Chains A and B, each alone.
Chain A
Amino acid sequence: MSASDEELPKLLGDCVHCGFCLPTCPTYVLWGEEMDSPRGRIHLMQQHAEGAPLSESMVGHFDACLGCMACVTACPSGVQYDRLIEHTRAEVESEHPRPLRERALREAIFALFPYPRRLRALRGPLRLYQRARLDELVRRTGLLERISPSLAAMERLAPPLGKAPRLPERVAARGGRRATVGMLTGCVQREFFPGVNAATARVLALEGCDVVIPRTQGCCGALSLHSGREDEAKEFARRTIEAFEAVDVIVVNAAGCGSSMKEYAALLAGDPAWARRAEALSARTRDLAEYLVELGPRAERRPLPVTVAYHDACHLAHAQGVRSQPRALLAGIPGLTVREITDPDVCCGSAGVYNLLQPEAAGELGDRKAGHVRGTGAELLVAANPGCAMQIATALRRQGAEIAVAHTAEVLDASLRGLGRGALITDAP
């Protein structure tokens, strides 16, 4: 995905310095500094391209970027900041020596998140995580302290849908098959939000899809790709392509995963053995909401009298341009009211592993977003990305305001199955 060196001058030159990206950039919103805006970062990239070394301060500004891609949406000149920052991150990883502690933290993260089984070890009372032999590393870096509040919040705030069964390899369509789709289960989604995956499979089946859930699938590589760990990302991509080659459409319910799979074509473009297969996979990847709107509703929607605030996950809204579809799906549920959150374009601070690497900025952004969510007066927060849900729930909890959180799939599931609002919200007695 990242830009090649030959393309770099052209990609940098696309920026006309108009500044339209500034108000959408989370770090610019926080600090008001040019260097921590997309325009400023592109300027720094230009300086580096002209020979300025990757200094500590320069790297700091690149690291501070959340990769939310709101600037890509805002840019009238079509600057491909996504490619620029990925290229830059790869350069930083290969050229810039990081201090030991920081390196350890990064290693810990990338040794943990892309591996569902290791992640599973972190669930619950953390009894099993020693088994993954990560305990030393995790303790040394303080990673645990950074993740555990989010996890704790999630334990409390996950919708009371009941225990999710382990998904079979195939879920049959109900009421006449309209399509056969593959489903990505994701890493964080699978381990912390199994209910979301179950709901996704049920909704697809109720809408007439045979759902194929290959056992061979692993991490899609999103976190690695968005953090400059390109080789690692490529390896994950190849494995994902192999796992899903047999299906016509791959439906993804996690925004970050969907966007990275759509980027496989560019990521593996230089690899003759894989380029065409990657391109084909990217072309067949759909976000759940995107796919359901394409397919058109068939199953009956039963009333859900709930007021929801819909949160645009960056990797859905900015990276995939999926904004109207989830809103349309939600609005199609009788009795349900959708409220808009102020500054919808500004990231909540989760941004993949950003909340682990840049906890302060992430915390401030989370607080801002939580404030805006509260401002809607909604009872339920709907987000299509597990990271966002964890991030905002944690921030709300810090503010002493808890709100139920659900994925679009869970809301649809509750409507299609006629479970009523109690499935999503615990009403005060």
Chain B
Amino acid sequence: MTEKVTRLAERLAVLLGPDAVITDPVRLRTYECDGLTNHRARPALVVLPDDGAQIAQIVRACVAAGVPYVARGSGTGLSGGALPRTDGVLIVTSRLRRILEIDIANQRAVVEPGVINLDVTRAVRPHGYYFAPDPSSQQICSVGGNVAENSGGAHCLKYGFTAHHVLSCEVVTPDGEVVELSADGPGYDLLGVFVGAEGTLGIATKVTVRLTRVPQTVQTLLAAFGSIEGGGTAVSAIIAAGVVPAAIEMMDALSIEAAEASVACGYPPGAGAVLIVELDGPQAEVEHQFAQVKALCEEAGAFEIRVAADDAARALIWKGRKSAFAAVGRISPAYLVQDGVIPRTSLPRVLARIDELSAESGVRVANVFHAGDGNLHPLVLFDDAEPGAAERAEGVSGAILDLCIEHGGSITGEHGVGVDKARYMPRMFTAADLDTMQMVRCGFDPAGLCNPGKIFPTPRLCGEVPGVRKGVHPLVEQGKADLF
């Protein structure tokens, strides 16, 4: 630990109490990564604040000491967004887990950032409401993490992402100020850019979330196809028919095999692909469209269609899908989870190309995707004990991202850029695009201490905090910029 950090640790122990400051190297190491384990960095210090006021104190202390800091919720992110800095402080929000207010009349709840996503739903369910964003990790991921990553989930096809379900946030800005950002207040929609900024624009300390009315009815079906193409055809037909399901998910043969090994979900044997389609809403509406969806699946060649008769049957259908990532661990010693997006109509071409990539490289790829919105999650399998296998897998994984960009898609649909994909950003965006995004960052965090090194491959020079100026910009004068 450097002298600077030692002094900061002492200061923080005074502010927060010794229990809230971790300095023991063995303990620190348990925080070295989040859900993405191939990037690791032991933080210089971990702090466990109890409330938002303490977070503001911590941030101010870090700023005063010139020490970078990173916020972490439950540590389930898959892009290394909460990867610590070896020279910095990791601020963990796991003790900020109070649901502060439930206001059903106004369809909202105020929660602390460490509250677990599913706990919000559990708390409001008796009132007939739920919190719509449902990432696969919803049983453990925190609302603060959802805000940082703009998390989606299987049902975001119909209900949108976290950004659509957050009404306002109390935020500790990178300079330690506490401000309220809201979507409908006067002025810029800073909340809109804060949500999904991967913790680079400050730390949310209170989140007001929108609650969604539990739909009158939910219908779920599982359709088994001989091949991925059949499933793809069904998806296109459903969308073309003007149906907006709550979710459309697809799994290929290899991912079905993994899920079967893990949770014995009992999907139809011999399926080359399964499609899960869920409709929800008013009864009459759902019944009408469900019949349509069933017919369209049959037309597309589904050889078996199962309709969930009750919640238990629905849970079993979803169980295979929701466990798919972790389940791949059962059929492969190691794997990479990729997250890319393509226009839905490009699905057949892109999948065919992924098959080719897999065949050319000898690297197995299992495909799980949110088919409704073209969000692919190829799982690239390899044996980490085999020399060179990890590199080959990395190669295939990267090539899949290139494929997404080629088809006008995105390098990430929900896992975020974090530290993992910063290097791919220049393939999707021009230097000017990235520079422009970083103007926001410079406005929020001119000192660059708040979760530095994430999203952007190269930091933008913020210079001094700008004010209203006349004449030549100092950066131009210093020869650091051409024109402002």
On A, residues with C-beta under 8 Å from B are 13-14, 16-20, 22-23, 28, 31-35, 40, 43-44, 47, 52, 55, 57-58, 61, 74-78
Contact = CB atoms under 8 A, between A and B. Distances in A.
Interface string B2-39: 00000000000000000000101011011101110100
Given A19-B74, A20-B140, A35 B27 contact: yes
B97 A78 contact: no
A18 B262 contact: no
Contacts of A28: 94
A76 B323 contact: yes
Contact of A57 (B24, B114, B329): B24
B24 A17 contact: no
A22 B114 CA distance: 13
Given A18-B76, A44-B26, A33 B139 contact: no
A33 B48 contact: yes
Given A33-B94, A58-B26, 19 more contacts: A14-B329, A18-B325, A20-B140, A22-B140, A23-B140, A31-B95, A32-B95, A33-B22, A34-B30, A35-B30, A44-B26, A47-B26, A55-B24, A55-B26, A57-B27, A76-B263, A76-B323, A76-B326, A78-B330
The 7 closest A-B pairs by CB, nearest first: A32-B94, A76-B326, A77-B329, A40-B30, A76-B323, A32-B95, A19-B76
A20 B26 CA distance: 22
A77 B263 CA distance: 9
Residue among A18, A44, A58 with the highest chain B CB neighbour number at 10 A: A18
B30 A23 contact: no
23 contacts: A14-B329, A17-B33, A17-B37, A18-B137, A19-B140, A19-B141, A20-B140, A23-B116, A28-B94, A32-B94, A32-B95, A33-B22, A33-B94, A34-B31, A35-B27, A40-B30, A43-B29, A44-B26, A44-B30, A75-B326, A76-B323, A77-B329, A78-B329
A31 B141 CA distance: 16
Contacts of A20: 137, 139-140, 326
A418 to B, nearest CB: 33
Contacts of B22: 33
B333 interface: yes
Interface in B60-78: 74-76
Interface string B87-105: 0000010110100000000
Interface residues of B, number: 34
Contacts of B222: none
Nearest to B95: A32
A347 B254 CA distance: 36
A18 B48 contact: no
B327 interface: yes
Contacts of B33: 17
A16 B329 contact: yes
Residue among B26, B29, B262, B333 with the highest chain A CB neighbour number at 10 A: B26
A77 B48 contact: no
Contacts, number: 79
Interface string B327-368: 101100100000000000000000000000000000000000
B262 A47 contact: no
A37 to B, nearest CB: 8
A13 B140 CA distance: 21
Nearest to B262: A76
A143 B116 CA distance: 37
Contacts of A19: 35, 74-76, 137, 140-141
Contacts of B27: 35, 57, 61
B74 A22 contact: yes
Interface string B128-159: 00000000010111000000000000000000
Contacts of B140: 19-20, 22-23
A54 to B, nearest CB: 10
B263 to A, nearest CB: 7
Contacts of B263: 76
B333 to A, nearest CB: 7
A60 B479 CA distance: 57
Contacts of B24: 55, 57
B139 A23 contact: yes
Nearest to B139: A23
A81 to B, nearest CB: 14
Contacts of A57: 24, 26-27
A34 B73 CA distance: 11
Contacts of A78: 262, 329-330
B29 A18 contact: no
A46 to B, nearest CB: 9
Contacts of A44: 26, 30
B117 to A, nearest CB: 10
Contacts of B94: 28, 32-34
Interface string B237-281: 000000000000000000000000011000000000000000000
B138 to A, nearest CB: 10
Contacts of B325: 18, 76
Residue among A19, A28, A57, A74 with the highest chain B CB neighbour number at 10 A: A19
B75 A76 contact: no
B86 to A, nearest CB: 17
B121 to A, nearest CB: 13
Nearest to B50: A32
Given A32-B97, A35-B30, A18 B330 contact: no
Nearest to B324: A76
B29 A47 contact: yes
Interface in B352-404: none
A77 B76 contact: no
Residue among B29, B48, B97 with the highest chain A CB neighbour number at 10 A: B29
A44 B27 CA distance: 8
Nearest to A74: B139
Contacts of B137: 18-20
Contacts of A58: 26
Interface string B111-122: 000101000000
A19 B35 CA distance: 7
Nearest to A52: B26
A168 B38 CA distance: 61
A16 B74 CA distance: 15
Nearest to B76: A19
A48 to B, nearest CB: 9
Nearest to B141: A19
B415 to A, nearest CB: 13
Residue among A13, A17, A31, A47 with the highest chain B CB neighbour number at 10 A: A17
A28 B139 CA distance: 14
Contacts of A33: 22, 48, 94
Contacts of B139: 20, 23, 74
A75 B92 CA distance: 23
